[in-house]
Amino acid sequence: MLEAQRRNYASLDPCVHCGFCLPACPTYLVTGDEGHSPRGRIVLMRALERGEMSPHDPALLEHLDACLGCRGCEPVCPSGVGYGSGLEAAREQIFEARGLSPMARAVLGVFQHRAVWRPLFALARTLRATGLPQLLSGRSRFGFGLGMLAASSEQRLNGAAGRPSSNSPSQTGRPGNYLPTPGAAPLPRPTVALFRGCVMNALFSHVHAATRRTLEVNGYQVVEVRGQACCGALHEHAGNAGAARSLAEANVAVLSDQADFIAVNSAGCGALLKEYGRLLGSPTAAKMAAKVRDISELLAERGPRAGAPIGLEVAYDAPCHLQHAQRVHQAPLALLGAVPDLRLQILPGSDRCCGSAGIYSVLRPQMARAVLDDKIASFAAAQPRPDLIVTGNPGCLMQIGAGLRAAGLPIGVAHPVELLDLSYEEAGYYEVSGER
């Protein structure tokens, strides 16, 4: 066994099987099965490490594959068990022994090569623009998939003038490029490289645009860096550490020494980017990883500057890889706090996984939907009912958005930075210059 795997398995050593993790595990709450709990999975991982169970054992595979990897068990563990590191070691060992399922291999193969995912996502954008995903989304597996694509559309946020709507197949149609008004940005201006990623760049370019504008209003100088690749998080979660390292090396090569900070607006990407030093084991990777910040962290560090009221009822839902992996809790609330008089709710279950978990919702749609159900019920029961659910991860936006559509709830989804961007527009912090 590789030394890195041994070290990661060692993170499970503090476990005393107390059971504090059980109420924090989404799959255990759905099934009541001890094998679907962190405590039960740790027993299986230990058996795999010692060679007492084969990596081909169907029971082992069923329980470990069913784990969302949300790491919700870690904050509640009184012993400090590093469950995520142990799971990573187990999945890497299983991958080395048996590879990936055909479906996982196909999906991850797409994200490994820009020449593949860029045209596929271009087709997805074309389909989204027809409005068919919005019209045909529903409860079936096919309808839910279309609902996920529909949820990636930019919300037609109209501030205090009206409620959000994502029924239109078009973007918001805001004219031109918005730039900070003169004198809006204080000096000095730290430089920030925007990590573009794959799904975010292809389906959420509107979030990238909002990220850039809000950073500039808060005194950052945003620089573009070409040649970026997928972050590799999906591959690492599946145990394919080799592919994750290859993608990480590509990103380190182009992002190192390009800016003071690297801004990420996808919680899943940010969690792995911050771990590039561990993943690659090089000083260059560690130096780059130390510059990585979630967009909420950068904005909170500068204030952020207050905008204007936008008249929306909003519920914040925390992405697992922001709160559990990155340990970022207050920065997103500080970002939303810069919108004056925002009616913000933190609903029951907001700290639990939505069931997206990278490609989990594609590979195990039934369990993913079962995990999502409680969250959707919480949204439906909220008084007053929110206009928007805001969360800082593309998979969460798509999963929650599709679930809301399947439930027939007239609630939109948006990234937190989109609300701040609208607030800044309402405040007159932008001027229009040129064409998109």
pLDDT, residue 367, reads 95
pLDDT, residue 413, reads 96
Residue 44 has pLDDT above 90, yes or no: yes
pLDDT, residue 419, reads 96
DSSP track, 187-253 = SS--EEEEP-TTHHHHH-HHHHHHHHHHHHHTT-EEE---S----SHHHHHTT-HHHHHHHHHHHHH
Residue 52 has pLDDT above 60, yes or no: yes
SS3 content of the chain, % helix, strand, coil (to 5): 55, 10, 40
Strand order in the sheet with 313-316: 343-345, 313-316, 388-390, 412-414
Contacts of 216 (CB under 8 A, 6+ apart): 179, 180, 184, 185, 222
434 vs 331 pLDDT, higher one: 331
Phi and psi at 97, nearest 5°, equal: -85, -35
If you ran DSSP here, which 8-state letter would residue 414 be given?
A: E
DSSP track, 273-306 = HTTHHHHH--HHHHHHHTTEEEHHHHHHHT-PPP
pLDDT tens figures, 104-123: 989 888 888 888 888 999 99
355 band by pLDDT with thresholds 50, 70 and 90 = very high
* C-alpha to C-alpha distance for 125 and 116, rounded to whole angstroms: 15
- Name the least confident of 172-181, 182-191, 356-365: 172-181
pLDDT, residue 172, reads 41
Residue 34 has pLDDT above 80, yes or no: yes
Residue 65 has pLDDT above 70, yes or no: yes
Task: Say how many C-beta atoms besides its own lie within 10 A of residue 259's C-beta.
Answer: 19
pLDDT, residue 188, reads 77
* Cα within 13 Å of Cα(314), Cβ side: 30
Share of the chain above pLDDT 70, in %: 90
Residue 433 has pLDDT above 80, yes or no: no
Q: Where are the domains of the chain?
A: 3-98, 133-155+305-425
Arithmetic mean of pLDDT, 228-257: 94
* C-alpha to C-alpha distance for 268 and 392, rounded to whole angstroms: 9
What does the mean pLDDT of the chain come to? Answer: 90
Question: CA dist 326 to 6, 60, 181, 273, Å?
Answer: 23, 28, 33, 10
* C-alpha to C-alpha distance for 42 and 90, rounded to whole angstroms: 10
Contacts of 119 (CB under 8 A, 6+ apart): none
pTM of the model: 0.91
Contacts of 79 (CB under 8 A, 6+ apart): 14, 15, 16, 18
317 vs 188 pLDDT, higher one: 317
pLDDT, residue 171, reads 38
Amino acid identity, position 252? V
207 vs 188 pLDDT, higher one: 207
pLDDT, residue 51, reads 93
Token pair listed for 205? 């370019």
Residue 310 has pLDDT above 70, yes or no: yes
Tell me, rounded to whole angstroms, the distance of Cα 367 from its chain centroid. 19
Report which listed range, 134-138, 285-289, 344-348, is most confident: 285-289
Question: CA dist 150 to 29, 132, 170, Å?
Answer: 29, 9, 11
Superfamily of the domain at 3-98: Alpha-helical ferredoxin (1.10.1060.10)
Question: CA dist 60 to 81, 84, 167, 269, Å?
Answer: 20, 17, 43, 28
Token pair listed for 300? 């909170």
pLDDT, residue 2, reads 57
